[in-house]
Amino acid sequence: MIGSPVAQSLSPVIHNAIFESLNVDWLYVAFNVQSARVEDALTSMTALGIGGLSVTMPHKNAVAEIVNQCGEVDQVVRVTNSANTIVLRSDNSLWATNTDGEGCCNALEEAMKSSIRGERVVVLGAGGTASAVAYAMVQRGASDVAVINRTLQRAQDLVNRVAGTARVVASDEIANTISDARIIVNTTPVGFGVEQGSLVSSIDISLIKSSHVVLDAVYKPLITGLLLASQNAGAIVVDGLSMLVHQAALQQQHWIGQMGDTALMRECALAHLART
């Protein structure tokens, strides 16, 4: 994995658990890579024969652009300009995709026990993760994908790329949009590193109702302020760890040809968190 910072990441724990369980001779390690060295890291991937890379903040956009120039990217990366997964192919070329959106959708559908198709969705944020989530929601047939972001132009840029049922929400439309939605996904870092129990959220938590399904991509703390408020309102909540393991399972499919056990990954991650 490349990113900055990476010390807090659970990705090595969950991926190595799967490689061990499947008797795959792979080892997953985290490299703290500064923005100026991203291209060097990708060159090293080829030189050293590193089979796959995860990409985390703040490099998803840069990696998408670099691999698009020197290798090949899929439709998700072309639309979102955000990559979180790189594969070193047999001909030594690089291929990139983004599993954040599909991982988010799989985590939600597991919790809902139903399809996203036809649902009204709110996406909070307009960064790389938000782009991937919004695109996946549109592809899965969500009837409305409403993007809320402090900077309207960034939200508009995202919507222009994703198209379909995606749209920008103006500040005076936020309350009604959230009220009408079934699914709310927070992709912003608000809540990251905040102690459990703190009611910190990127939206007015009083808008959350029992009819909502709320996912927060932040997984530290596991129960963010948004999720705590949602629990208190009686909503279905999906923590960031669920999204993490589902997107990781898709990465494993690309790297080694089979998806790992999301339940095992979650179990190992929770055990690690309990020890630290």
CATH architecture of the domain covering 2-98+245-275: 3-Layer(aba) Sandwich (3.40)
How many other C-beta atoms lie within 10 A of the C-beta of residue 155? 24
pLDDT of residue 198: 39
pLDDT of residue 220: 86
pTM over 0.85: yes
Query: What are the domain boundaries of the chain?
Result: 2-98+245-275, 101-238
pLDDT of residue 204: 85
Low-confidence ranges of the chain (pLDDT < 70): 191-202
| Domains 2-98+245-275 and 101-238 equal at CATH topology level | yes
Q: Which of 192, 195, 201, 198 is nearest to 5 (CA)?
A: 192
pLDDT of residue 195: 38
Would residue 60 show up in a list of annotated catalytic residues for this protein? yes
Strands 120-124 and 213-216: unpaired
Name the DSSP class of 161. Answer: H
CATH architecture of the domain covering 101-238: 3-Layer(aba) Sandwich (3.40)
